[in-house]
Amino acid sequence: MSSQDPAPISPPIALITGGAGDLAQAIRAELEAQGWQVHAPSRAQMDVTDKAQVQAVMGSLPRLDLLIHNAGFLRDASLLKMTERDFHEVLQVHLKGAFLTAQAALKIMVKQRQGHIVTIGSFSALSAPAGQANYAAAKAGLIALTQSLAAEYGPRNIRANCVLPGFLETKMSQPLLEKQRPQIEAAHALGRLNTPQEAARYIAFLHTMENVSGQVFQLDSRVRRWV
């Protein structure tokens, strides 16, 4: 390489939590197709509720341009049948996990003076169904956490947005779809569900919108009243 040759441009780096999930894998494929270097650790590789594990994984990265907090699971039950453990563990993964991963990411992004944190929310946060008190509460808290991050770190050129990908056909949703597919589809104005690939394409596009932060994006056709 001569002294006049431009320095090679390293690819942007993304980290997706809950990397073994169907949506995480779709996002990974979309970003890698666009030239990103993507890390998508599974729970076994990085438990988002364990601060030491989160810091170890984040600390091994040379930089971080995009964090996607996707880790999550369901433990649905009526409130009288929901155990304290059911409630606690769902909030731990969805909400505490977002706090720990965002905190670790911010240590990198503040030094870079740029970065983007995307949290994966849920329509349940906006219109909570029966039997999901833990999940709906966690996802509602996630929206507030995301908007607080956007307000606090916008002056450092760090963005934060929450994406509600819709009712996707994934391993996590399959048991419910097997029981209630007609009712679930009927709740959508278009009568069909979103796909992990479409949600991934939107998230990749959202990252390119450099002036958007603190927003909540719903990606399906369920219509709700705004109050």
Mean pLDDT of the chain: 92
Residue 5 has a pLDDT of 53
Mean pLDDT of 2-23: 80
Query: CB neighbours (10 Å) of residue 5?
Result: 7
Residue 226 has a pLDDT of 67
CA distances from 165 to 75, 78, 90, 92, 118 (A): 19, 24, 19, 21, 12
Q: Is the pLDDT of residue 212 over 50?
A: yes
Mean pLDDT of 169-191: 86
For residues 216 and 144, give the distance between their C-alpha atoms in angstroms, rounded to a whole number.
Answer: 10
- The helix, strand and coil proportions of the chain, stated in percent and rounded to the nearest 5, come to 45, 10, 45
* DSSP 8-state assignment for residue 9: P
Instruction: For residue 52, name the pLDDT band (cuts at 50, 70, 90).
Output: very high
pLDDT digits (tens, 9 = 90+) for 104-134: 999 999 999 999 999 999 998 898 888 889 9
Q: Is the pLDDT of residue 1 over 50?
A: no
The region of weakest confidence among 130-134, 177-181, 216-220 is: 177-181
Helix (H) or strand (E) segment spanning residue 217: strand 216-218
What residues act catalytically?
135
Residue 129 has a pLDDT of 83
User: Which positions ≥6 away from 24 have C-beta within 8 Å?
Assistant: 16, 17, 18, 40, 68, 70
Domains belonging to the chain, first-starting first, are: 13-168+195-218 (3.40.50.720)
User: Which positions ≥6 away from 219 have C-beta within 8 Å?
Assistant: 163, 164, 165, 166, 194, 198, 199, 202
